[in-house]
Structure 1
Amino acid sequence: MPRFVALLRGINVGGNTMLKMSDLKPCLERAGLDNVVTYINSGNIGFDSDRSESDLIGVAEAAIATEFERQVPVMIRSRSDVVRIISANPFDGEFESHKEMHVLFLKDEMPLDKQQQLIEAATPPERFAIVGREIYCHLPMGVADSLLGKSYIEKKLKLAVTARNWRTVQKLVEL
């Protein structure tokens, strides 16, 4: 059976939308996901399923809404997607720490006009590269002063994303 990861947006960050992983795991198991495991407390869940990605998004979002009475956007990637994401990093070898490197996960590919807006808005030394449904972010000065930290992508470009630092992205393949 194929292996997937679910990436929940905006949970357990800054005291907002608190969901315990120990509660989320059985919730998703009851929704029909197999071999559910979690990684850290920020909404990273590995599981097995023979359903399609779009079905899995619906299942996970509905289960969370029903059980926790919260609307939480969920991005799904297959294990092979995560392997591809790691190997396709356009900034590989160009960052000193996992803290400088982030990946933003989108549900759908980013429209070309919004890609151009993001690239043009970047302030050196921050760099962005859009590959499929991911945005690779090299942020040598950290997140706080970057477009990511200023919520530019969600507020200005109006795109729902969920971000993971490079260490977490690398751990996702193990889930």
Structure 2
Amino acid sequence: MTSKRYIALLRGVNVGRAKRIAMADLRKLVADLGYGDVRSVLNSGNLVFSGPARPYDTVGTEIEDTLVLKLGVAARVLVLDAGELDGIIGGNPLLEQAHDHARLLTFIVSRPEHRQSIAALCALDWGPGAVALGERAAYVWCPDGILDSAAAAALGKQLGDATTSRNWSTLLKLQTLCAEGAG
């Protein structure tokens, strides 16, 4: 059976007072589902783990269902593999202008039809920031800060719970963890 390195991104976990989950509990929950080398990044629902090759929706739904049953927390889980994460990172056209990785936001696009729904937003002038669309992600440069970014707010509103976002620094940390476990 082929093993894969997965990344699970939980939407809205440990933001404010809602959906509080200890990362140790989350790692144990995913390990108890039969996945190995489960690692978390930061305290905001970012996991890297290994397991048999399965459809991402199946893995995500399994984690979502178990979160509710075991921890009483409902959160959308977007799953991708290490190759897709590498593609998202390699496909960012905003890196030359986005010098502060904490202000470079990446919205993971879960379905092809979502790309179409945000293409018009990418064509707008968001100066001094910028928006660009990749194959599996929308990138938002927020030079004045993420909370003050009209572009980030518009993308979040357009995509709703069909996406989750992470800053560039977090994605790079996830990529490093994937590479460490690939051996």
TM-score, structure 1 as length reference: 0.89
Aligned to 1:66: 69
Aligned to 1:96: 99
Aligned to 2:136: 133
Please state if 1:54 is matched with 2:57: yes
1:39 to 38, 41, 44: 41
Aligned to 2:180: none
Structure 1 segment 1-175 matched on structure 2, within 5 A: 1-50=3-52, 51-109=54-112, 110-116=114-120, 118-119=121-122, 123-147=126-150, 150=153, 152-158=154-160, 160-175=162-177
Letter in 2 for 1:136: Y
Residues paired across the two proteins, number: 173
Aligned partners of 2:108 and 2:151: how far apart in 1?
12
Question: What is the root-mean-square deviation in Å for CA atoms of aligned residues?
Answer: 1.8
Letter in 2 for 1:12: N
Once the two structures are TM-superposed, the CA of residue 111 in structure 1 deviates from its matched residue by 4.3
TM superposition outliers: structure 1 runs of 4+ over 6 Å: none
Aligned partners of 1:104 and 1:40: how far apart in 2?
18
Deviation readout 1:24-65 (Å, 9 max, x if unpaired): 111111112221111110011000111221211111111111
Structure 2 SS opposite 1:48: strand
Aligned partners of 1:80 and 1:111: how far apart in 2?
19
Structure 2 SS opposite 1:2: strand
TM-score, structure 2 as length reference: 0.86
Cα pair 1:75 1:107 within 8 Å, conserved: yes
Cα pair 1:122 1:147 within 8 Å, conserved: no
Percent identical residues: 27
- Pair 1:157–1:95, CA change in 2 (3 A): closer
Could you list the runs of 5+ residues in structure 2 that have no partner in the other structure?
A: 178-183
Aligned partners of 2:16 and 2:139: how far apart in 1?
23
- Pair 1:43–1:88, CA change in 2 (3 A): same
